[in-house]
Structure 1
Amino acid sequence: MNQVISTILNHRTIRYFEDKQLTDEQIKTIVSCAQAAATSSFIQAYSIIGIKDKEKKKRLAELTGNQEYVEKNGHFFIFCADLYRHTVIGEKEQRNVTPALESTEKFMVALIDTSLAAQNAALAAESMGLGICYIGGIRNHLEEVKKIVKIPDRVIPLFGLAVGYPTKITDQKPRLPLEHVYHEDEYEQDQQKFIRQLDEYDALISSYYEKRTEGQRTDRWSEQIAQMLSKQNRMYMKEFIQKNKLDLQ
């Protein structure tokens, strides 16, 4: 097993960081690694906003659900799907790019490009001995986030990435069994087999939580996910996307 694979397989979410800021060189390295990710048709449809200002980090922590590690970390990155620069390119080159930029396809490209870049950044940080935590809560209050980081239309903050020096290393949370995720030649649709695999995984996750919380928590993965999906969350996203001139034609 080489070092890259070892780093990937050793991933776990870190929520407790030393009060030690990343250096500008570390930040530059992480962003450069993000930029090295694959990008659809070389469109590079993302931007990364680094937050150093303490008051902004504090406010973002509040907006993301009072997540302390958004405020207290080595550096906080916000990854944005970005088609604004492509609007500028259209004006610069005197070409009508609006229909393409407002298509579902280009919206998906921007989401995918941003995600690929972010995962490169996360792996780079972890390879440097740093810990990371993705912050989906950045989407809880996007209008407020947009004002704080002053983003233009056609730019959507997708998630944050808290990076820093870990003070507490948690156990690695077990993932779904490989055979439940990986299909060969066609999608496996034997529902009884599917349920058996889920039952086995539920037992594993329940045991993980029981051990981690000393018996205070024993919920199953299926139970956890069904409960989450039964509640409506961030239902304003379509309106926000359209308001920001990504109309999904």
Structure 2
Amino acid sequence: MRILVVNVNTSAAVTDAIAARATAVASPGTEIVGVTPRFGAESVEGNVESHLAALGVLDAVLRYGDPYDAVVQAGFGEHGREALQEALEVPVVDITDAAASTALYLGRRYSVVTSLDRTVPLIEDRLVLGGLAARCASIRASGLGVLELEQDPSRAVAAIAGQAVAAVADDGAEVIVLGCGGMAGLADAVRDRAGVPVVDGVPAAVTVAESLVRLGLSTSKIRTFAPARPKRIDGWPFG
């Protein structure tokens, strides 16, 4: 089985970290391929960057030349999953949906700890769209940008864990979800400090993708994600 794990930003270092985390949890026989978009922002932390990332991810996947069995979109709260589901025949799993749905198995209410406060509304919208908002106790910002998370892991853990502890104490959270692909690999350290289960979206999404492939299931092609109608696309700038 081959799974494409697609970073939503153009940082190769973030892609490598995400792919390493995905590989660590993948089953024997599953090949993880980390993919970085050819264009886009170096970190995705707002609406313009998120919409651009949706195009970059779609472009990167459609340009990938070898066979694959599933795609993981490794951006928390970002746009683009629906376009992939419409364009592809294989299962598509977004880390937002995978992490939040996994958290529902582990406790009554969960909280998300993300990067910057400006990303909170995007995550709120994605959880509502995915039908996952009802049991979300809160979405808290660590105050660190995506690239800062990678540059100083110890500072990242302290900031994320601090918000996780507050979510448990003040918001009624019983599970913490890491709300950024750049937080891949930090779950154990945050769990040790918060004292509750911590879900990392990257391994959660890989596990879901593997299960869908093994079950022989993929996106329904009736109505919502039916193939696009043939038509001319004018002015597409990316080849």
TM-score computed with the length of structure 2 as normaliser: 0.28
TM-score computed with the length of structure 1 as normaliser: 0.27
Q: Which has the larger radius of gyration?
A: 1
Task: State the structure with bigger RCO (CA 8 A, min sep 6), 1 or 2.
Answer: 1
